[in-house]
Structure 1
Amino acid sequence: MTTSCSIPGLNVPRSRFPDPGEDLPAQGNEQRVVLAGGCFWCVEAVYLAMDGVSRVVSGYAGGAANTANYEAVCTGTTGHAEVVDVHYDPTRVSFGELLKVFFSVAHDPTQLNRQGNDRGTQYRSAIFYETAAQKQVAEAYIRQLDEAGVYPDPIVTTLEPLDAFYPAEDYHQNFAARNPYQPYIMAVAAPKMEKLVDRYGDRLKPEYTDNDTGSTA
């Protein structure tokens, strides 16, 4: 992983991103969504801060079990993407709200098979859906964002069925909070957290709005 990342969405006001026209019901037990948006360290940090999110696990999806390890995935030949498995309470934060943050803060959905200088299919933008309803809501929101012209370039996020999720090695979990001064975290994760706090402060856990970036929570 290199030390720069260009995320046009960080410069687009929150007001430009519409609320999803479709969403999943705000009821039921804990739900999950598996998202790929480049380096999982940074995407994980964003979702750990959101109110209603109970846990986030960094890992791999899109490839086979025998190559679901960091060394293999980094070759870009396994079919895996770096992903985060986000578990949330749908009565407190909706699937659509999680998607809105995914497209507006967590990464740049217009970069094909890369995020900034991180290049390869393992850094692709993808939503790994478990149900037809998840796929439908995600498809509808991508259309909505493209039609609204939020980004100057089309969104390239793929929608892929979640065949399996493989947790990453222990040292990757909660990486940003445990290593706030690591150069990559300072260069890439910290700006995302600053924008998250600035633009979605009303949707965050209290401990993340009590400091500048939330990276120490």
Structure 2
Amino acid sequence: MRVLFIALTTAMLTTAACTSADAAGSKVVPPPAMDIPAPAGLQTAVLAGGCFWGMEGVYEHVKGVKNVVSGYAGGAASDATYDKVSTERTGHAEAVRITYDPKQVTYGTLLQIYFSVAHDPTQLNRQGPDSGPSYRSAIFPQTPDQVRVAHAYLKQLTAARAFGRPIVTKLESGKFYDAERSHQDFMRRNPMHPYILANDVGKVSALRRMMPSLYRG
């Protein structure tokens, strides 16, 4: 789907970029009522929310995040390649693995960013121009504490009717596999790429504008 999208005309691209910026910064949801007390050492979170280029780009700008890796989660190791995942038959979702310092940013705060600006949790098996289960909204908790916090937060946001439509985000299990080198740090290395301009720049702008205390330039 990304290949087709990149073929847009310049005029369409400009319009899409404006739309992306408006949509990405539309709402900051309340923080989770439950969070994880800061454990010792760096921790890991795995989140899926559409194209991993944009997800990675957002979290690379979050204070306390030490590293973000694009990859695949939810399927088998033998299918963890871009070509196979793009068939939409592997069970994988495009995802990011976030390594963070819990003394600087909590798991709950990472989830708040996820629901507020990183993606739209009401889109089922798609994000923006990309469609298929590999673009689904899914959280892959890495510890029992993360399971509890993510589950409670989903219930909290659903009860509060935080969005105009139902939240479709699911909690899933499965290993994370690094994506190909060409996909790593894609937004940082290709800031003028048509897809990035149309779909992802607005998300980073929304983080800076709507959640400035969490933003790192």
Query: So what's the TM-score if we normalise by structure 1?
Result: 0.89
Q: Which residue of 1 aligns with 2:92?
A: 80
**1:84 counterpart SS class:** strand
Q: Does 1:45 align with 2:52?
A: no
Q: Which residue of 2 aligns with 1:191?
A: 202
Q: Deviations over 1:11-38 (max 9, x none)?
A: 5333xx1111000112311000000000
Deviation at 1:44, TM superposition (A): 0.2
Give the aligned residue type for 1:77: R
2:67 & 2:20 partners in 1: Cα distance? 27
Give the aligned residue type for 1:167: D
Query: So what's the TM-score if we normalise by structure 2?
Result: 0.89
Identity %: 49
2:27 & 2:206 partners in 1: Cα distance? 10
**2:172 counterpart SS class:** strand
2:129 & 2:21 partners in 1: Cα distance? 11
Written as runs of structure 1 = structure 2, the 5 A alignment for 1:121-136 is: 121-136=133-148
**Ranges in structure 1 where 5+ consecutive residues have no aligned partner:** 209-217
* Alignment RMSD (CA, Å): 1.6
- Alpha carbons of structure 1 residues 6 and 78: separation in structure 2 relative to 1, 3 Å: farther
Q: Which residue of 2 aligns with 1:175?
A: 186
Work out whether residues 113 and 123 of structure 1, in 8 Å CA contact, stay in contact via their aligned partners in 2.
Answer: yes
2:155 & 2:175 partners in 1: Cα distance? 27
1:97 aligns with one of 109, 112, 118: 109
Q: Which residue of 1 aligns with 2:24?
A: 10
Deviation at 1:200, TM superposition (A): 1.4
Work out whether residues 6 and 115 of structure 1, in 8 Å CA contact, stay in contact via their aligned partners in 2.
Answer: no
**1:36 counterpart SS class:** strand
- Alpha carbons of structure 1 residues 49 and 11: separation in structure 2 relative to 1, 3 Å: closer
Work out which structure has the larger RCO, using CA pairs closer than 8 Å and 6 or more positions apart in sequence: 2
Q: Does 1:166 align with 2:177?
A: yes
- Alpha carbons of structure 1 residues 87 and 160: separation in structure 2 relative to 1, 3 Å: same
Moved more, 4-13 or 195-204: 4-13
